[in-house]
Amino acid sequence: MVSFEMNDRKKIGLGLTGFGIFFSFLGIIFFFDKGLLAIGNILFVSGVTLTIGLKSTMQFFMKQSNFKGTISFGVGFFILIIGWPILGMIIELYGFIILFSGFWPTLAVFIQKIPVLGWLVEQPYIRSLFDRYRGKRVPV
C-alpha cells in the first residue's frame, strides 16, 4: 500500500530529486560537465529512493518491463563517469524515457493545468502529439 502522507523523509527526497534535476540541467548548460551531471544523477536516484522507499525503488528498477531502461541508465552513467558525457547522457536519456514512460500521461495532465504551459500545450500541433501518445486517434 502506498502512503501519500508527506513526512520529513519524503520532503528531503523530493528536495534531492529537484536538486538532481537542477544539477543535471546545469551540467548540460555548462557543455556537458561530467562532474555536475554525475552529481545530478546521484542526487536524482537518491531522492527517488528517499521519496518512495528503498523496497519500492528496487522493485521499480528491477521490474521486468523496466529492465532495459535500468540497464541503459546504468551504462549511460558509467560512460558519463569514464569521460564521455555526451554519449553517456544520450544513453541515460533513452533509459530515463523507458523507465518513466508510464508517468508521461500523468505528467501531460499536470502540465495542462499549469497556466502558461497549459495554454502552450493546448495549441493544435502540440495537442495532437499528446492525444496521439494517449492513444486517441488523430487524423494526420
Residue located via cell numbers 545530478: 40
Per-10-residue mean pLDDT, the chain, length 140: 75 94 94 94 95 93 92 95 94 92 80 83 79 58
Q: Same domain, yes or no, for 85 and 107?
A: no
Across 29-65, b (16+ Cβ under 10 Å) vs e yields eeebbbebbbbbbebbbbbbbbbbbeeebeebbeeee
Print the domain residue range for 131: 103-140
Whether 2 maps to a domain, the answer reads: no
- Tell me how many domains the chain contains: 2
Which three three-digit cell numbers place residue 40? Answer: 545530478
Q: Same domain, yes or no, for 81 and 118?
A: no
The rounded Cα 102 to chain-centroid distance in angstroms is 11
pLDDT of residue 46: 96
pLDDT of residue 138: 47
97, amino acid identity: I
